[in-house]
Structure 1
Amino acid sequence: MKSLVRLLLPLALLAALLSPGPATAARTSSAQAGALDGQAEAMRRLSFMIGTWAGPGWTVTPSGTRQEFLQTERVRRQAGDLVISVEGQGRDKADPRTIVDSALAVINYNESTGQYRWEAFSRGYVTTVVPVVGDGTFQWSLQTPAYTSRYTLTFTPTTWHEIGETTVDGGQTWHQNFQMDLRRLA
């Protein structure tokens, strides 16, 4: 029995030394709560986007023709208000039964880097970028070896205006190839 106690006592002491005590657990919980507070505050800065939006838009297709569409966007808070989802669907203006685009994006904030992240899924592609967030504005860009596209969203309490532009010369000249003018439904 004494040999069992001699064996278990050092193991128990080792376990006690390796496990976090109440002070360590409190510091960890406090740090996690602080990070969540920072994330929550950053996500509240995007409140202007939340809602259901609809309206007309247009885009220039790869063939160079202008296609008009009717767009719906549903922007919701998710995951304890620390993530925002953006679900968009565009329908052909001439035939609203035809879906011309469907996309999903999520926005979150990383307290460690101090940056937002925009991750969008559309037409089999995934785009992950760091957007620029302002008062009532949101801008994200996509860079490829051949061109850069940027999308600038401007909000009022009742409107969402968005333009898309492309450059092939490193940003010296931009050409608009997309626009949406949406109204808040809810």
Structure 2
Amino acid sequence: MIQFFLIILFLSMAFIQAVAQPPAVDEEGRKAMQNLSFLAGDWEGEGWVMAGPGQKESMSLTENIRYAADSTSIFIESESNKASRPSIAVMIHYDSQAGEYVFNMSMSNGLSGRKKGEFTDGKFIWYQAENVRFTMSPTGPDSWHEIGEVQQDGQWFPVYEVNMRRAG
């Protein structure tokens, strides 16, 4: 009986100690997220999306992009002037164990997903599917560009493009 109480006491103390200590910040993740600092801020821009074969539909966008969770994550809220384009909420973080960026999105049309990303040559690339990628790259201190592409027969074809500038 005493052994039972000692085990309970030991487990309780271990639990309290684990809960009482603040979690460490993922420094590797925070450092990786600094690669995406060009995205932070309030943005407005113009672009287009393919609405059908050879049919580009123009649009305007606003995006609010903020660091969160001690700069280990980025939140993106994206709105368009087109009723046909859903509002989008995104959280990006770096998974230190997997060694890759994770792009979680949720859209107002009910679609959502967890996608992988990478930072290469100063650009952030996230993959909606193996043959669909979106590349975000800085174009100046107060601007960035995003292009969406679909791969067919080994070639990448643009299906989406926006140019964003700092709002205000």
Q: Same fold (TM over 0.5)?
A: yes
Find the aligned partners of 1:19 and 1:112 in 2 and give their Cα distance.
29
Q: Where does 1:62-81 land on structure 2 (aligned, <5 Å)? A: 62=52, 64-81=54-71
Please state how far the C-alpha of 1:114 moved relative to its aligned partner.
Answer: 2.1
Higher helix content, 1 or 2? 1
State the AA in 2 paired with 1:164: G
State the AA in 2 paired with 1:125: L
Unaligned runs of 5+ in 1: 1-6, 93-97
Structure with greater Cα Rg: 1
State the AA in 2 paired with 1:10: Q
Find the aligned partners of 1:115 and 1:73 in 2 and give their Cα distance.
24
Residue 155 of structure 2 aligns to a residue whose secondary structure is coil
Verify the 8 A CA contact 2:38 2:144 in the aligned structure 1.
no
Please state how far the C-alpha of 1:126 moved relative to its aligned partner.
Answer: 1.4
Find the aligned partners of 2:151 and 2:3 in 1 and give their Cα distance.
68
Unaligned runs of 5+ in 2: none
Find the aligned partners of 2:88 and 2:6 in 1 and give their Cα distance.
56
Higher strand content, 1 or 2? 2
1:127-173 residue CA offsets vs partner (Å, 9 max, x unmatched): 321101146411112227xxx2211111132111111111232xx11
Match for residue 124 of structure 1? 110
State the AA in 1 paired with 2:141: P
Match of 2:7 among 3, 10, 14: 14
Match of 2:32 among 28, 32, 42: 42
- Give the TM-score normalised by the residue count of structure 1: 0.74
Verify the 8 A CA contact 1:77 1:85 in the aligned structure 2.
yes
Match for residue 184 of structure 1? 166
In the alignment, is residue 110 of structure 1 matched against residue 95 of structure 2?
Answer: yes
Find the aligned partners of 2:98 and 2:85 in 1 and give their Cα distance.
36
Please state how far the C-alpha of 1:89 moved relative to its aligned partner.
Answer: 1.2
Find the aligned partners of 1:120 and 1:82 in 2 and give their Cα distance.
17
State the AA in 1 paired with 2:147: I
Match of 2:143 among 151, 159, 163: 159
Find the aligned partners of 1:101 and 1:127 in 2 and give their Cα distance.
14
- Identity over aligned residues, as a percent? 28
Report the count of equivalent residues: 163
- Give the TM-score normalised by the residue count of structure 2: 0.81
